[in-house]
């Protein structure tokens, strides 16, 4: 089975190659990723440890209303903001950020997103946070707020992204004196059960997966809503603490939270989760 796409006749499903025996600490283990992403580095990292990875799409992206997106893009181009914050590559598909002025700071969450934004906009980030969006609150000058006496654009931050975004970053920035314009340029909604691969719900319920890696609150909730919570035999790994919190609210029992939302961090977390003795 090729990693390049879904098996014929099974939409939204990608599995790792079964053509050769795999070796490593996850050899013989089947791990679910509830997302389908081209050249998924997380999946590749798990496969490098010997796992058979099955990626299943459980959500779809829905663009937000066009008027707020257009207004925000135009305001950005006019120099109305001191900083632009981008936390997901998906954002760039739903708002025109190509007018980003050279004088406007660019803050990015995650090295992979920073590379994507640099390719798309031709601009290197001024700040790159690791981990969750809230990590930006530790980086100056976002952590210290606008200059004393600053007015207008010098106090304003544009934050386009998901309508499902948490409030930690916005609250933190506001507390230091920034005026944050949050623009919901897209949202995520669960697929219909009929859109899942044939037999997936039954295999999930029967414990076909040794572990599931939860990468976002929206997909965690969608997975639970579509096929229920995992059986006790399936270990649950969360990409980070925000995802773990969302998963816990949805009813999951998270076994391991990755130390970092990177391929090595996820690989180590999956190994630790599967190696841990059963409760």
Domains and CATH numbers, the chain: 30-58+192-275 (3.40.50.10090), 61-189 (3.40.50.10090)
pLDDT of residue 59: 97
CA-wise closest residue to 160 among 148, 170, 171: 170
pLDDT of residue 23: 85
pLDDT of residue 13: 53
- Rounded to whole angstroms, the Cα distance separating 23 from 27 reads 5
pLDDT of residue 4: 34
| Residues sharing a CB contact under 8 Å with residue 244, sequence separation 6 or more, in sequence order | 214, 238, 254, 257
DSSP string covering the chain: --TTSPPTT-TTEEE---SS---STTTT-EEEESS--TT-HHHHHHHHTT-EEEEE--EEEEE--HHHHHHHHHHHHTT--SEEEE--GGGGGTS--TT--TTSEEEEESHHHHHHHHHHHS---SEEE-SSGGGGGGSTTTTT-SPTT--GGGGEEEEEEETT--SHHHHHHHHTT-EEEEEEEEEEEEPPGGGSPTTHHHHHHTT--SEEEE--HHHHHHHHHHH-SPPTTSEEEESSHHHHHHHHHTT----EE-SSSSHHHHHHHHHHHHHSPP-
Question: Cis omega (within 30 of 0) on the bond before 141?
Answer: yes
261 touches 239 (CB < 8 A): yes
208 burial type by CB count under 10 A (0-12 exposed, 13-18 middle, 19+ buried): middle
Identify the bridge partners of residue 31 per DSSP, sorted by sequence position: 53, 211
CA angle 207–211–214, rounded 5-degree value: 120
- Rounded to whole angstroms, the Cα distance separating 116 from 179 reads 26
Distances, alpha carbon 177 to alpha carbons 62, 132, 149, in Å: 32, 21, 11
| Residues sharing a CB contact under 8 Å with residue 10, sequence separation 6 or more, in sequence order | 197, 198
Per-residue pLDDT of the chain (279 residues; tens, 9 = 90+): 333 333 333 345 555 444 445 789 999 999 999 999 888 999 999 999 999 999 999 999 999 999 999 999 999 999 999 999 999 999 999 999 999 999 999 999 988 899 999 999 999 999 999 877 888 999 999 999 999 999 999 999 999 999 998 888 999 999 999 999 999 999 999 999 999 999 999 999 999 999 999 999 999 999 999 999 999 999 999 999 989 999 999 999 999 999 988 899 999 999 999 998 766
pLDDT of residue 62: 97
């Amino acid at each position: 089975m090729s990693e390049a796409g879904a098996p014929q006749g099974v939409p939204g499903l990608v599995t790792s190659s079964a053509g050769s025996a795999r070796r490593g600490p996850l050899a013989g283990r089947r791990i679910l990723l509830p997302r389908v992403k081209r050249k998924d580095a997380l999946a590749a990292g798990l496969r490098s440890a010997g796992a058979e990875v099955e990626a299943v799409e459980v959500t779809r992206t829905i663009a937000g209303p066009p008027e707020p997106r257009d207004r925000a893009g135009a305001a950005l181009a006019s120099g109305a903001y001191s900083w632009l914050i981008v936390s997901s590559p998906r954002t760039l598909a739903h708002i025109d950020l190509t007018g980003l002025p050279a004088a406007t700071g660019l803050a990015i969450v995650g090295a992979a997103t920073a590379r994507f934004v640099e390719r798309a906009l031709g601009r290197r980030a001024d700040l790159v946070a690791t981990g969750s969006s809230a990590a930006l609150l530790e980086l100056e000058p976002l952590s210290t707020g606008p200059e004393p006496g600053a007015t207008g654009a010098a106090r304003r931050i544009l934050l386009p992204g998901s309508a499902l975004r948490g409030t930690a970053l916005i609250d933190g920035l506001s507390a230091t004196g920034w005026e944050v314009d949050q623009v919901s340029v897209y949202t995520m909604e669960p697929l219909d059960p009929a859109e899942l691969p044939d037999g997936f719900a039954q295999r999930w319920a029967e414990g076909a997966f040794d572990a599931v890696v939860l990468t976002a609150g929206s997909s965690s909730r969608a997975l639970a809503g579509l096929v229920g919570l995992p059986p006790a035999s399936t270990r649950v790994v969360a990409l980070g603490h925000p995802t773990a919190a969302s998963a816990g609210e949805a009813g999951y029992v998270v076994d391991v939270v990755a130390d970092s939302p990177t391929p090595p961090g996820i690989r180590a977390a999956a190994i630790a989760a599967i190696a841990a003795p059963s409760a």
